[in-house]
Amino acid sequence: MKVTIDREQMENVEWQELPAATAGKRVEKRRLLITTDNFLPRWDGISRFLSEIIPRLKETYDITIIAPDYGFITIEGVEVVKIPLSVHSYGDYTPARFEYKRIAHFVRRADIVFNQALGPIGMCAILAAKRLRRPVVSYIHSVEWELVPKAMASLGPLRGLMLPISKWFVAFFYNRCSALITPSENIAELFSWQRIKTPKRVAHLGVDTVKFAPGDRKRARESLNLPADAFIVGYHGRIGYEKNLITLLRGFRRLRVKNKMLIIVGDGVPAIKSKLTRFNDVIITGSTNHVTPWLHAMDVYVQPSFTETTSLTVLEAMACGLPVVSSKVGFIKYYIMDGKNGTFFDNGDPHDLCVRLTQLHDDRVHRVSLGLEARKTVVEQFDWERTAERIKEILDSV
């Protein structure tokens, strides 16, 4: 699969006249090494984050990216270094190999390392940066000690050991960073409680509110071959154990509505997919980077996950004017105000989810009101330009 990033915003860069003292001289950019264990063409939250942030950083920094080799990708003006994949997979995720020497070579060349996760690439990058005395800043995309035990449900009884191991592992590596960037204040506090003493700075995520905007539901359903009169419940994201999609399925199955449909926009663990596809009114679309038509076709968006930080997918659904029913996790519980711009359910209780969905099905006026307020929240509070400027400020401060 070939993926090329050519963001529209790069065509609209506002160029500023250089001061007289530097006019005509080449201004050297700082060398920024971005290390990530998730990247395009594998779409997930980190990939989408980087696809928005990289175009906004590359005018300030000379960027090199080290990422797993999930397929061919080119980014204009950016060097992309691919690390071969391991022969082992975990759920729906195949990590890169450990190639410390190769990663250390690029760390040595860098002025700043901007790390995205704690897989083989991230671990090698942090250790190399510490040894070579390069500042390393990590963006916190997930709470690993919540994510790992849930994601490795297939381990059975051994899964219980993953919680203390994950906490030790996270503290070991993040305490060797120069700074951590968290997507919210409560996530920063959560990491401090785990004895992670590294300075923490907050940079909220953003949303492209032009791309993710309310659309024509009737036209979207026609284009996707979906029934015009169905009550459509939707989800967008990875199909993983930690995403709790079986509770979503059970809540949906209890819904006493004659014409209903559940749409899962994403791909992932085959064992979960097989349970979802046993029913004729459940559709799994597979991975796509054209999610907006599917969002436009939905009546309600559900986020059932056991663990999240901010959840870009929830913000994107809200930006499209969808009422969201979410589990009360991460930063979501601070930007969703129950009953005003969304609603919460107990993610261990499919009956509670069914009750929330029934209320929204029966009260179209309330549904529309929640969607309007959801869109307003995202437009006012979540902007990629502000996110990028805040990240630049933090990177420059180290």
Domain coordinates of the chain in residue numbers? 3-8+29-206+383-397, 217-381
CATH 3.20.20.140 given to domain 3-8+29-206+383-397: no
Strands 231-236 and 260-265 come out as parallel
DSSP state at residue 139: E
User: Would you say residue 259 has pLDDT above 90?
Assistant: yes
Each residue's pLDDT tens digit, 234-255: 999 999 999 999 999 999 999 9
Nearest to 283 by CA among 349, 239, 218, 342: 239
| Strand boundaries in 244-348, DSSP class E | 260-265, 282-284, 300-303, 324-327, 343-345
pTM for the predicted model, two decimal places: 0.85
pLDDT score for 155 = 54
User: Would you say residue 24 has pLDDT above 60?
Assistant: no
Domains 3-8+29-206+383-397 and 217-381 share a fold: yes
In this structure, which amino acid lies at residue 52? E
Q: What is the mean pLDDT of residues 98-116?
A: 97
| Strand boundaries in the chain, DSSP class E | 3-5, 30-35, 61-68, 73-75, 79-83, 112-115, 136-139, 179-182, 200-202, 231-236, 260-265, 282-284, 300-303, 324-327, 343-345
Instruction: Give the separation between CA 117 and CA 224, rounded to whole angstroms.
Output: 35
Instruction: Give the separation between CA 120 and CA 99, rounded to whole angstroms.
Output: 8
**Backbone phi, psi, residue 338, to 5°:** -55, 120
Neighbours of 70 (CB within 10 A): 19
Each residue's pLDDT tens digit, 30-45: 999 999 999 988 888 8
In the CATH hierarchy, which fold is given to the domain comprising 217-381?
Answer: Rossmann fold (3.40.50)
pLDDT score for 5 = 46
Lookup: tokens for 64: 């090199």
